[in-house]
A and B are shown apart, each in its own frame.
Chain A
Amino acid sequence: MTQIVFYFFAAMTVLSAVVVVFSRNLIHSAFALLFTFFGVAALYVFLGADFLAGTQMVIYVGGILVLLIFGVMVTHKLYDMRLKSETYQFWPGLALVTIVFLTLVGVMLRTTWHSRGARALDPTTAAIGELFMKEYILPFELASIFLVIALIGAAMIVRRRSE
Chain B
Amino acid sequence: MNPQILQDLQAFHPEMTITLTLLAVIVVDLAAPSIRKSATFFITGFGLLLALAFTVPLYRAAQGTLFYGMVALDPMAIFFKGFLILTSFLVLLAAPGSKELSKDHIGEFYVLLLGVTLGMVLLASAADLLMLFVSLETVSLGSYVMVGYLSNQRESNEASLKYLLFGAVSTGCMLYGITLLFGLTGTTKMAQIRDLIAQGAASGNNSLTLLVAVVLVLAGFGFKTAAVPFHFWCPDVYTGAPTPVTAFLSVAPKAAGFATLIRFFFTGLSRTSVVGVQWSAFAAVNWTLLVLMISVVTMTLGNIAALRQENMKRMLAYSSIAHAGYILMGPVVLSPLGLQAVLVYLICYLFMNLGAFLVVIEVYNRTGSFDLRDYRGLWRRSPFLTISMTVFMLSLMGIPPLAGFFGKLYVFAAAVNQNLAWYAVVGAVNSVVAVYYYARVIKAMILDASAQGSEGGAIRLSWTSQVLVWIMLLPTAGLMLFWDYIQQLTGGSMRLFFG
Q: Which chain A residues have a beta carbon within 8 Å of chain B's beta carbons?
A: 103-104, 107, 110-114, 116, 134-139, 142-143, 145-146, 148-150, 152-154, 156-159, 161, 163
Report the bound CA distance from A153 to B119 in whole Å: 15
Chain B at the A interface: mostly helix, strand, loop or mixed?
A: helix
Q: How far is the CA of A146 from the CA of B141 in the complex (A)?
A: 8
A134 vs B115: C-alpha distance when bound (angstroms): 23
A142 near B144 with CB under 8 A, answer no
- On whether the beta carbons of A116 and B141 are closer than 8 Å, the reply is no
How many residues of chain B are within 8 Å of chain A by beta carbon? Answer: 48
**Known contacts A148-B22, A158-B151, A163-B152; 11 further A-B pairs (Cβ under 8 A):** A103-B212, A107-B209, A111-B184, A114-B185, A114-B201, A137-B5, A149-B142, A149-B145, A153-B112, A153-B141, A156-B151
Min CB gap B96→A, angstroms = 18
Question: How far, in angstroms, from A139 to B180 measured CA to CA in the complex?
Answer: 21
Q: Which residues of A contact B160 (CB under 8 A)?
A: 157
Q: Shortest distance in angstroms between B336's beta carbon and chain A's nearest beta carbon?
A: 29
Select from chain B the residue with minimum beta-carbon distance to A144. Answer: B19
Q: Which 8 A-B pairs have the closest CB atoms?
A: A153-B145, A149-B115, A114-B186, A138-B67, A135-B68, A111-B209, A161-B152, A146-B138
Complexed CA–CA distance, A112 and B184 (Å): 8
- B70 touching A139 by the CB < 8 A rule? yes
Question: Among residues 209 to 255 in chain B, which have CB atoms less than 8 Å away from a CB atom of chain A?
Answer: 209, 212
Q: Which residues of B contact A136 (CB under 8 A)?
A: 68, 70, 130
Contacts of A145 in B (CB 8 A): 19, 22, 115, 118-119, 138
Chain A minimum-CB-distance residue to B4: A134
A113 to B204, CA, bound (A): 12
A117 CB → nearest B CB, Å: 12
Across the interface, B206 reaches (CB within 8 A) one of A112, A135, A142, A143, namely A112
- Indicate whether B351 reaches chain A with its CB closer than 8 angstroms: no
Identify which of B108, B180, B204, B205 contacts A156 (C-beta below 8 A).
B108
Given A107-B212, A142-B119, A145-B115, A157-B184 contact (CB < 8 Å): no
Contact A146 B111 (CB under 8 A): no
Q: B366 contacts the other chain (Cβ, under 8 Å)?
A: no
- For A143, list chain B residues within 8 Å (CB): 134
Given contacts A103-B212, A142-B119, A157-B151, contact A149 B70 (CB under 8 A): no
Interface residues of B in 1-47 (CB under 8 A from A): 2, 5, 19, 22, 26
Provide the B341-366 mask, 1 if CB < 8 A to any CB of A, else 0: 00000000000000000000000000
Cα A158 to Cα B130 in complex, Å, equals 30
Whether A156 touches B145, Cβ cut-off 8 Å, given contacts A111-B205, A139-B134, A149-B111, is yes
**Chain B residues whose C-beta falls within 8 Å of the C-beta of A159 in the assembled complex:** 151
The verdict on B91 contacting chain A, using a C-beta distance below 8 Å, is no
Check if B195 is an interface residue, CB within 8 A of chain A: no
CB atoms of B208 and A107 under 8 A apart: yes
Given contacts A138-B71, A145-B22, A163-B152, contact A153 B138 (CB under 8 A): no
Chain A residues within 8 Å of B70, by CB: 135-136, 138-139
Chain A residues in 8 Å Cβ range of B66:
138
In the complex, the answer to whether B131 meets A138 with C-beta atoms within 8 Å is yes
Q: How far is the CA of A112 from the CA of B22 in the complex (A)?
A: 46
